[in-house]
């Protein structure tokens, strides 16, 4: 007997709606207790406790990370991963809306588990910490959490419904300059000023930004500028981020940024130490999966739009996942108009009734898209073909 896919999708939506009060409570509780990257113990424990209460065997420490978790349901067929995040930003809280993403992923997973009986397919829920550090999913990939996955799905809160957002490749650079302390008034000539070295390198980097392509970014903060005004600083440090939509140009920018601080260290007599992070890859939006998600969102009352040429949305370690397997990372608006991410205004938006309603819609659309992969034998095949050709 032919499957009634429309009826199955209706059941998925009903299962999300049935859990709406619990999902809303989870999202709001996580919002009220913001935790930084790799410190998301309350968020991870809350999500896992709810999953266990729903009868799953969810466990933390997935991939060796204390605040990651994973759980699987179903049998046979393709393996579809649904990803959720839950880390926050320093000083801002959930200004990226990750409190909504973790709860939406849980809702999508449980709805699928409820309707998978008799269908060939598996769904793996992956709780992903430390997206704001840009490397949580990199560790999960290395830890084998994505082994066997045929496709990966997630959504992100935003201020516009966008199916294929431009997410830049990004790398962090920690810069440390070491000098020699001395009395800043009595014997300044005995010192080597690490802060001067850092500022000189910073100014060279600022001059470089004028020459950088308009689609790329260099930015950062000074994390240590000395301890007292009357001491020549013997240490100064900064954390930088370098971004570009092309890996080759990113590599060129890395070389040029490093040269700024190498030259400054040489000029001021400081010792330079640097540490590069793993690279966050560009997100490769998979067209067949994106089209399926857009159709499901449309059926739920939301119209997904293509990216605008002027839009960028920062960077994400989901790019590394989409380099590994077919995946999508669409944005769904939780605001009524433009609101910048990583802002107090977006933090406030991430706890509104509209945000919670959109979170539940996202859970439904994610679950429906995974269902499409289970019942349409060609979807995963087409997704992999597009992925192998890096079709945007």
pLDDT digits over 244-287, tens only? 999 899 999 999 999 999 999 999 999 999 999 999 999 999 99
Place of tokens 């994400």: 316
Tell me what percent of the residues of the chain surpass a pLDDT of 70.
97
Average pLDDT, the chain: 96
pLDDT, tens digit (0-9, with 9 covering 90-100), for 299-352: 999 999 998 766 777 899 999 999 999 999 999 999 998 999 999 999 999 999
Q: What is the CATH topology of the domain spanning 178-276?
A: Alpha-Beta Plaits (3.30.70)
DSSP 290-320: HHHHHHHHHHTT---BPPPTT------THHH
pLDDT value, residue 38: 96
Answer whether residue 55 shows pLDDT above 90. yes
Element (H, E) at 178: strand 169-178
pLDDT value, residue 310: 65
Place of tokens 């070491």: 178
DSSP 112-164: HHHH-TTS-EEEEEEEE--GGGT-HHHHHHHTTTTTT-SEEE--EEESS-BSS
The CA-to-CA distance between both ends of the chain, in Å, stands at 36
- The whole-angstrom separation of Cα 302 and Cα 254 is 40
pLDDT value, residue 154: 99
- CA quadruple 58, 59, 64, 67: dihedral, nearest 10: 90
pLDDT, tens digit (0-9, with 9 covering 90-100), for 206-238: 999 999 999 999 999 999 999 999 999 999 999
Domains 5-167+282-388 and 178-276 share a fold: no
pLDDT value, residue 352: 98
Answer whether residue 57 shows pLDDT above 70. yes
pTM: 0.92
Answer whether residue 1 shows pLDDT above 60. no
Using alpha carbons, select from 116, 37, 104, 28 the residue that is nearest to residue 72: 116
SS3 content of the chain, % helix, strand, coil (to 5): 45, 20, 35
pLDDT value, residue 118: 83
- The whole-angstrom separation of Cα 240 and Cα 276 is 10
Other CB atoms within a 10 A radius of the CB of residue 267 amount to: 13
What ranges do the domains of the chain cover? 5-167+282-388, 178-276
- Asked if residue 365 lies in contact with residue 155, where contact means CB atoms within 8 angstroms, the answer is yes
Using alpha carbons, select from 55, 31, 30 the residue that is nearest to residue 44: 30
Q: For 30-39, what is the mean pLDDT?
A: 98
- Asked if residue 154 lies in contact with residue 100, where contact means CB atoms within 8 angstroms, the answer is no
Other CB atoms within a 10 A radius of the CB of residue 352 amount to: 13
Q: How confident is the model at residue 392 (pLDDT cuts 50, 70, 90)?
A: very low
pLDDT, tens digit (0-9, with 9 covering 90-100), for 127-154: 999 999 878 999 999 999 999 999 999 9
Geometric angle at alpha carbon 52, from 50 and 57, rounded to 5°: 140
Tokens of residue 208, six digits = 């470089």
pLDDT value, residue 248: 92
Answer whether residue 365 shows pLDDT above 60. yes
Tokens of residue 248, six digits = 């080759």
Place of tokens 């799953």: 56
- Number of residues in the chain: 392
Q: For 11-27, what is the mean pLDDT?
A: 98
- The whole-angstrom separation of Cα 55 and Cα 76 is 21
Q: Phi and psi for 275 in degrees, rounded to 5?
A: -145, 120
Question: Please, what CATH class does the domain formed by 5-167+282-388 belong to?
Answer: alpha beta
Q: For 352-377, what is the mean pLDDT?
A: 98
pLDDT value, residue 377: 84
- CA quadruple 245, 250, 251, 256: dihedral, nearest 10: 160
Tokens of residue 222, six digits = 């000074």
- Asked if residue 69 lies in contact with residue 62, where contact means CB atoms within 8 angstroms, the answer is yes
Q: Which residues, in sequence order, are bridge partners of residue 85?
A: 128
Tell me what percent of the residues of the chain surpass a pLDDT of 90.
93
């Amino acid at each position: 007997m032919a499957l009634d896919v429309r009826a199955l999708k209706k059941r998925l939506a009903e299962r999300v709606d049935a859990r709406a009060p619990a999902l809303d409570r989870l999202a709001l509780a996580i919002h009220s207790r913001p935790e930084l990257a790799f410190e998301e113990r309350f968020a991870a424990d809350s999500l896992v406790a709810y999953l266990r209460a729903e009868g799953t065997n969810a466990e933390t420490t997935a991939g060796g990370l204390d605040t990651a978790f994973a759980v699987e349901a179903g049998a046979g067929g393709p393996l579809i991963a649904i990803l959720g995040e839950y880390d926050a930003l320093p000083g801002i809280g959930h200004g990226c809306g990750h409190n909504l993403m973790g709860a939406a992923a849980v809702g999508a997973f449980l709805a699928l588990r409820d309707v998978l009986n008799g269908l060939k397919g598996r769904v793996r829920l992956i709780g992903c910490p430390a997206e704001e550090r840009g490397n949580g999913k990199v560790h999960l990939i290395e830890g084998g959490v994505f082994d066997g996955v045929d496709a990966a799905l997630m959504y992100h809160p935003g201020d516009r419904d966008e199916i294929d957002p431009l997410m830049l490749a990004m790398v962090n650079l920690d810069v440390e300059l070491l000098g020699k302390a001395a009395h800043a008034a009595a014997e300044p000539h005995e010192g080597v000023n690490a802060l001067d070295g850092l500022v000189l390198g910073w100014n060279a980097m600022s001059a470089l930004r004028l020459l950088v392509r308009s689609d790329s970014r260099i930015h950062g903060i000074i994390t240590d500028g000395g301890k007292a005004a009357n001491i020549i600083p013997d240490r100064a440090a900064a954390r930088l981020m370098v971004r570009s939509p092309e890996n080759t140009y990113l590599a060129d920018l890395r070389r040029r940024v490093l040269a700024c601080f190498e030259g400054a260290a040489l000029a001021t007599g400081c010792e330079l130490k640097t540490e590069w992070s793993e690279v966050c890859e560009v997100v490769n939006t998979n067209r067949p999966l994106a089209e399926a998600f857009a159709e499901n969102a449309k059926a739920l009352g939301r119209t997904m739009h293509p990216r605008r040429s002027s839009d960028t949305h920062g960077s994400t370690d989901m790019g590394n996942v989409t380099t590994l397997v077919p995946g999508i990372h669409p944005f769904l608006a939780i605001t009524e108009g433009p609101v910048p991410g990583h802002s107090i205004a977006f933090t406030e938006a991430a706890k509104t009734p509209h945000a919670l309603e959109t979170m539940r819609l996202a859970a439904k659309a994610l679950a429906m898209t995974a269902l499409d992969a289970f019942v349409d034998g060609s979807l995963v095949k087409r997704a992999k073909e597009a992925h192998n050709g890096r079709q945007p």
